[in-house]
Amino acid sequence: MTAMSDSMSESMSAPPATTPGPKPRPEPSRSTPTRQPRPEPVAKAKAKSKSKPEPSAPVPASMSMAQALNAALRDALREDERVLVFGEDVGPLGGVFRVTDGLTREFGEERCFDTPLAESGIVGLAVGMAMGGFRPVVEMQFDAFAYPAFEQIVSHVAKTRNRTRGLLSLPMVIRIPFAGGIGGVEHHCDSSEAYYAHTPGLKVVTPATVEDAYWLLRDAIADPDPVIFMEPKRLYWAKEEFTPGERRAPGFGRAAVRRAGGDATLVAYGPGVPVALQAAEAAAAEGRSLEVVDLRTIVPFDDESVMASVRRTGRCVVVQEAQGFAGVGAEIAARVQERCFHSLAAPVLRVTGFDIPYPPPKLEHAHLPDVDRILDAVDRLQFDDRPDVLHLSGGAAS
Amino acid sequence: MSHRQVADGLLPEPVPVRFVAEDGTAAPPAGYQGDHPAGYGAPADDLLVEAYRHMVLGRRFDRQATALTKQGRLAVYPSSRGQEACQIAGVLALRADDWLFPTYRDCVALVARGLDPVEVLTLLRGDWHCGYDPAATRVAPQCTPLATQTIHAVGMAEALRRRGEDAVAMAFVGDGGTSEGDFHEALNYAAVLRSPVVFFVQNNKYAISVPLARQSAAPALAYKGVGYGIRSEQVDGNDLVAVLSVLTEAVRHAREGGGPFLVEAHTYRIESHTNADDATRYRDAGEVARWEAADPLARLETYLRGRGLLDTAGVEAAHEAAEEYAARVRDRMNAEPETDPFELFDHVFAAPTPQLREQRALLAAELSAPEE
Ligand SMILES: Cc1ncc(C[n+]2csc(CCOP(=O)(O)OP(=O)(O)O)c2C)c(N)n1
Ligand SMILES: [Mg+2]
């Protein structure tokens, strides 16, 4: 297993062939009994139901998400000598995803260094250094390999400010490449955001665009509180025209409307955002106008922007790649129905991964929420005033 | 140098370092009152007298805290009775600008460090978690998740080194805590980074009910250092002179760039794990009586009297000061602490989120609702 993981990690420094680009063409297809026939682009793709999305045609791009993260680290290291970067293989190698590429060369071993292999140690070391006036930015190599650090994160990172009545704060960032869609073998594709979001005292961030990768990481490093910075692995190679310069990104803690629409709101974050945008594109082809809200920060949660959108559209689907039960999407759905009940024309639905351990690479396409699964949910939003048959039984199907 | 020679240089003495025998005489075989044959220097006489006063006061404070617990003033109290030599030497080996990373067991050490006793007891009284200012006192919040503080001490030591301060960090940890992964990660990190940090294991023979033999098969816990490349020592933890001597050397070693140092002190927890525990369920009275006879405070008193450094007047003065101190602690602890439920929302983040503001308002409504 070790050799396998290692070779896998290595191969991840370059985009896998199946990595979707930022905005793949909408090629949704499903067959649902209640559906009206779709216009041309949909029908064309029918035979490819449940297949992996096609890579988009190359777009002229100036920066990938991994490069934007690298630029954010570089600029933070340059501007604030308290900032330090450390973790496993982040030094001369530049990280298995190359996010720390060149930092040791430019800033030296004192500012960007490899630690012994122990994640609790990495986070605990960062806690001590933050107590001592530094601003550590540490890398967990993969989502599932952050679990050894869980005790440090929950019992110290999250609680130190509170335990000391604000006398000790821990301005630190824990970067975690997370989620799937890259053909990773087991223990490399977990969606672990709910564990952190459930923990009071942690801010939880996940960028969906190259611009946000840069600015949210800068915000996270400058933040007075500890931030869990979750990087959607499958978007590392997604490119955008972007040069760090004048800031246009919304403030930390604010959601962004990525696409305006009037018929329903898709709420998504991180790896779910491009999928939601593809779904909105496909829905538009069917004459349905979907708004896509990108949370950007799961904590703090921007109730205001989400509720404003849902009150306008009257319908809401929450999209998350993670397994659904007790997930972030469940929280969002509950908040929306609590706050927007009288504006809702249909129950809030969730589109999520299944409640299964992350599947092996050849089966992940069956698990991952895709355009079809989102459009199916949108179909169930009672646009024709028919009740949602799927949920009428009231319990698990027997 | 061969690996074997390197290891030999790191290994602890085969028997715990001791300056003073249980009967208070200078320890055999050499009967030395100067430096220990292994190279550990004898602490200054006036420092030993100061340590004695701290031990008297610490023991009285501990008894007062136990009494306050019985009266319901404290939610719980983990006594360190019998461990005073460790508690006091740990603090006296440090400078005011060194950082201390204590556990829940170490209230007496914090009092000796000069922290306000009521602020120290805040955690156990339960009006907040940490009651003192860690940055101002350079004492981290008392740590309950076992051994997690050891790696913080390494981080702090690294921070101090990078800031160009010649201060060190010292982490206290229990015998049980040495089985936790974080202890091992901390030792390894400290050794690789050559951090100015001292790990101080108070081996009081039990982790709640679990005896040392079920905790570790190492010849002594101090042997855990060698595998990481850390210089290590074991010491009679009921001999204040020895603990202070060895810890002073450990701190010097760390401060002067020698890297981390591990010290194991062999001592004993006379009381139950906390007031809520019943130690008679897992150990017999004979064992406790044997350790009572090896009492660190009586031993130091006999030793200092024997050397003419302490007389009856000095002993009485120390006890009087301790009584006054305890009375002040009791009086202050008898006042009901002020708590503010709204403060619960104040320190989750630097600024409360909109959700926390909503929840604060909800609590305000609950608290202002008329009683039914
Ligand atoms: C990670 C963790 N596991 C379990 C506990 C519960 N617990 C509290 S104290 C204790 C025993 C610790 O023994 P030791 O390290 O020898 O310290 P001592 O209490 O003897 O001073 C245990 C198991 C804890 N606080 N933290
Ligand atoms: Mg113990």
Give the helix ranges, DSSP H, for chain A. 2-11, 40-44, 65-79, 103-107, 119-131, 150-152, 160-163, 193-197, 210-222, 272-285, 303-313, 328-340, 364-367, 371-379
Residue A151 pairs with which residues in a beta bridge? none
CATH of segment(s) A19-51+252-379:
3.40.50.920
Q: What pLDDT score does A8 carry?
A: 45
The closest residue, in CA terms, to atom 12 on ligand 1 is: B207
Q: Which two tokens stand for residue A186?
A: 């087991």
Handedness of CA A12, A17, A20, A21 (dihedral sign): positive
Interatomic CA distance for residues B150 and B184, integer angstroms: 9
- What are the boundaries of each domain within chain A? 19-51+252-379, 63-240
* Nearest Cα residue to A179 out of A397, A381, A41, A353: A353
Which atom of ligand 1 approaches the CA of B105 most closely?
A: 21
C-beta separation of B169 from B208 below 8 A: no
Q: What pLDDT score does A287 carry?
A: 95
Residues in chain B predicted with pLDDT less than 70, given as ranges, are: 372
pLDDT in tens, chain A (398 residues): 333 344 344 444 444 444 333 333 344 444 333 334 434 333 333 334 444 444 454 444 589 999 999 999 999 999 999 999 999 999 999 999 999 999 999 999 999 999 999 999 999 999 999 999 999 999 999 999 999 999 999 999 999 999 999 999 999 999 999 999 999 999 999 999 999 999 999 999 999 999 999 999 999 999 999 999 999 999 999 999 999 888 888 999 999 999 999 999 999 999 999 999 999 999 999 999 999 999 999 999 999 999 999 999 999 999 999 999 999 999 999 999 999 999 999 999 999 999 999 999 999 999 999 999 999 999 999 998 776 666 555 544 44
ipTM of the complex, rounded to two decimals: 0.97
Residues of chain B contacting A148 with CB distance shorter than 8 Å: 181
**What does the radius of gyration of chain B's CA atoms come to, in whole angstroms?**
22
Interatomic CA distance for residues B230 and B233, integer angstroms: 10
Q: How many CB atoms lie within 10 A of CB A238?
A: 26
Q: Which two tokens stand for residue A33?
A: 């009994």
pTM of the complete model: 0.92
Antiparallel, parallel or unpaired: β A264-268 and A135-139: unpaired
- What are the boundaries of each domain within chain B? 3-339, 341-372
Interatomic CA distance for residues A316 and B169, integer angstroms: 53
The 10 Å CB-count burial string (b at 16+, else e) for A23-57 is ebbbbbbbeeeeeeebeebbeebeeeeeeebeeee
Which listed ligand is nearest to B149 at the C-alpha? 1
DSSP secondary structure letter of residue B106: -
Q: What pLDDT score does B30 carry?
A: 77
Q: What pLDDT score does B279 carry?
A: 96
- B305 min Cα distance to partner chain A (Å): 43
A63-240 maps to CATH 3.40.50.970: yes
Element (H, E) at B85: helix B84-92
Question: What tens digit of pLDDT does each residue of A244-270 get?
Answer: 888 888 999 999 999 999 999 999 999
What phi, psi does B104 have (nearest 5°)? -55, -25
* Nearest Cα residue to A268 out of A278, A276, A260: A276
**What does the radius of gyration of chain A's CA atoms come to, in whole angstroms?**
21
Sheet hosting strand A256-259, strand order edge to edge? A256-259, A290-294, A264-268, A316-323, A349-353
Cα A118 to averaged position of ligand 1 atoms, centre (Å): 22
B3-339 maps to CATH 1.10.10.10: no
**Pocket lining: B204 vs ligand 1, CB cutoff 6 Å:** yes
Mutate to test the pocket of ligand 1, among B83, B101, B103, B146 (most ligand atoms within 8 A of CB): B146
Q: What pLDDT score does B363 carry?
A: 98
| A63-240 matches A19-51+252-379 in CATH topology | yes
Cα B147 to averaged position of ligand 1 atoms, centre (Å): 9
Q: What pLDDT score does A14 carry?
A: 46
Does residue B269 have an active-site annotation?
Answer: yes
Give yes or no for a cis peptide into A274 (omega within 30° of 0). Answer: no
Interatomic CA distance for residues A151 and A160, integer angstroms: 13
Interatomic CA distance for residues A128 and A130, integer angstroms: 5
Mutate to test the pocket of ligand 1, among B208, B216, B282 (most ligand atoms within 8 A of CB): B208
Cβ of B354 and A303 within 8 Å? Answer: yes
The closest residue, in CA terms, to atom 17 on ligand 1 is: B174
Mutate to test the interface with A, among B97, B161, B193, B353 (most CBs of A within 10 A): B353
Q: How many residues does chain B have?
A: 372
* Nearest Cα residue to B142 out of B105, B113, B177, B193: B105
A188, A198, A342, A367: the catalytic one is A188
C-beta separation of B276 from B306 below 8 A: no
The three-point CA angle A195-A196-A200 to 5° equals 115
Element (H, E) at B301: helix B296-306
Cβ of A127 and B155 within 8 Å? Answer: yes
Q: What pLDDT score does A18 carry?
A: 40
Cβ of A128 and B169 within 8 Å? Answer: yes
B285 at the A interface (CB within 8 A)? no
How many contiguous H segments (helices) and E segments (strands) does chain B have? Answer: 14, 7
- B221 min Cα distance to partner chain A (Å): 21
B105, B161, B266, B269: the catalytic one is B269
What is the per-residue DSSP string for A327-364? SHHHHHHHHHHHHHGGG-SS--EEEEE-SSSPPPGGGH
Cβ of A127 and B152 within 8 Å? Answer: yes
C-beta separation of B146 from B176 below 8 A: yes
Cβ of A132 and B133 within 8 Å? Answer: no
Q: What pLDDT score does B369 carry?
A: 86
Question: E strands along B62-155, which residues?
Answer: 99-101
Q: How many CB atoms lie within 10 A of CB A203?
A: 24
| Through-space distance between the first and last CA atoms of chain A, rounded to whole angstroms | 38
What phi, psi does A258 have (nearest 5°)? -85, -25
Q: How many residues does chain A have?
A: 398
Give the CA distances from residue A73 to residues A86, A251, B31, B194, in Å, rounded to whole numbers and listed in that order: 11, 19, 61, 26
B147 at the A interface (CB within 8 A)? no
Interatomic CA distance for residues A325 and B80, integer angstroms: 46
Question: What tens digit of pLDDT does each residue of A139-168 get?
Answer: 999 999 999 999 999 999 999 999 999 999
**Pocket lining: B18 vs ligand 1, CB cutoff 6 Å:** no
DSSP secondary structure letter of residue A57: P
In A, minimum Cα distance to B167 occurs at: A132
